[in-house]
Amino acid sequence: MRLPAERPLSLARVLAEIRDELREPPQLPPGETRFSLIRTHRLQRDTLRLVLELYERYGQVFTIRSFHRPLVGLIGPEANHFVTVSGADNFSWRKGMFGEHLTPLLGDGLITTDGEPHDRARRIMMPAFHRRRLDAAVAVMLDEAGRALADWRPGDAVDVYAWVRDLAMSIAIRALVGLDPRERGVGHGAAVLFERALAYTNTEVWAMLLRGPGTPWARMQAARRDLDRIIYAEIRRRRRAAHGGEDILSMLIEARDEADGPGAAAAGFTDLELRDQLMHMLFGGHDTSSSTLAFLLYELARHPAALARVLAEQDAVLAGRPPTVEQLTSGLPELRMAMEETLRLYPPVWFGPRLAVKSFEFAGHRIPAGTHIIHSAWVTHHLPEVFPDPEAFVPERFAPEARRSIPRGGYIPFGGGQRICIGKRFGQLVVEAVATTLLQRFRVELQAGYELRIEKVPTLSPGNGMPMVVAGRG
């Protein structure tokens, strides 16, 4: 079922929203409500410090104007739980800012839908991510990681983030779509087109309004059309095949919605739905895992004691052998704690924009329907009352006993409630499988003078690359 199209952000939409606000000004919580291009730029480029300042000044509820639009921030564990679980019916993800920015590229998948369309798609897709279905995907991850490391030598200078992005895309193209990433006519072409189209999401707000040849919008649309030709051709080929493969696309083609009952004629995905869900999985399986892996290697390079514990665990558990799914899932606790602390510092789903579809009350404030809402895992994860010494890298926060003290809604790196990322386990396995394969052979050290700069759209990532030097395992 194709949902009614949501209007993308455009000049006409901006003018309509300004007109509506002038006609009937909403009664919103106190905050920074005057128009300011400087604040708008800072909200996109220096989000964490700005929102922390507003939280300290106004408390867990405040208003901030971004470009033309007032946003209400709901910050902290209680707010996260309200938006994602207890008060989730008050909000639409599809009509929020992520829907505006992502739907033109990704279509109607799990990220950009609400209600029954979202729940139906989730029911159909869940079996593709069950434990036994991930065995083939992990084999791909380990194989691609080994190939990507084959040319590494101690002393080499490597931009680890660029290397990780190429590797994560190869894994996603092969494990999710079933295309060979080394086939330059198809697999490699799909990877290049996806990266080109995704660049639109990191465009300044004012540039997103532009239309016509040469604009970010036109470049994204052109890349999407070329990518669609590859994806639809692969879907048609799979449907004609006698039986599917082990990749996620094959499983989704065969999957049916059990809620429709056995033998239901239209229980599976249409070609259009397959295309949209596949685009969402490429986005989640590539973008989030590549950033998390780069940040994990960065933090381990800065914290030799934590790295030593991870390496000692590898030697004791694996003794040089490739890890199994079971070992990656539960047999390497030092690596898992280091990854979870990395996800605390750099959560992939770092903020959650919504549109209030009903008026609601929270923390003594009444928020009218039609208000754009933001809540933030990234800000919550840096509140000292939730995580003491929040800037420090302390994997022990996620030891079993310590983890139980984290408040509900206090740790949500992949979102929460029904919107928690369905590909979470896939993405975590990519991080753990690649990190394990790399650290069994090498260490990586930061180049002298490097200072991390964070980009935030569409997910947190190193904005200035991550130059590192390859060292022997030692």
Query: Where do the domains of the chain lie, and which CATH numbers do they carry?
Result: 11-472 (1.10.630.10)
Task: Supply the pLDDT for residue 148.
Answer: 95
Length of the chain: 474
Within 10 angstroms of residue 208's Cβ, the number of other Cβ atoms is 23
User: What residue has token string 């194989």?
Assistant: 143
Q: Rounded CA gap, 192 and 166, in Å?
A: 10
CB distance 378 to 88 below 8 Å: no
Query: Phi and psi of 110, rounded to 5°?
Result: -60, -30
Task: Supply the pLDDT for residue 264.
Answer: 47
Tally the C-alpha atoms within 13 A of residue 198's C-alpha that lie toward its C-beta.
19
Task: Supply the pLDDT for residue 277.
Answer: 86
Residue 161's H or E segment, with its range, is helix 160-172
Helices (H), 173-324: 187-198, 205-208, 216-240, 248-254, 271-282, 289-302, 304-317
Task: Supply the pLDDT for residue 322.
Answer: 95
Task: Supply the pLDDT for residue 411.
Answer: 96
For 15-66, the DSSP string reads HHHHHHHHHS-----SEE-S--HHHHHHHHHSHHHHHHHHHHHH-SEEEEEE
Q: Rounded CA gap, 94 and 103, in Å?
A: 8
Q: Rounded CA gap, 102 and 458, in Å?
A: 9
Write out the chain's pLDDT in tens, 474 residues: 455 455 666 777 777 778 887 888 889 999 998 888 888 888 877 888 899 999 999 999 999 998 888 999 999 999 999 999 999 999 988 887 776 777 888 888 777 777 787 788 888 777 766 666 678 889 999 999 999 999 999 999 999 999 998 898 889 888 888 888 777 667 778 878 888 888 887 777 778 778 889 898 999 999 999 999 988 998 888 888 766 667 788 888 887 776 655 554 546 888 998 898 888 888 877 778 899 999 999 999 999 999 999 999 999 999 999 999 999 989 999 999 999 999 999 998 888 889 999 999 999 999 999 999 999 999 999 999 999 999 999 999 999 999 999 999 999 998 777 666 666 788 889 999 999 999 999 999 999 999 999 887 677 889 889 999 999 986
User: Which residues neighbour 127 within 8 Å (Cβ) at sequence distance 6 or greater?
Assistant: 133, 251, 255
Q: Rounded CA gap, 380 and 83, in Å?
A: 13
Strand partners, 262: none
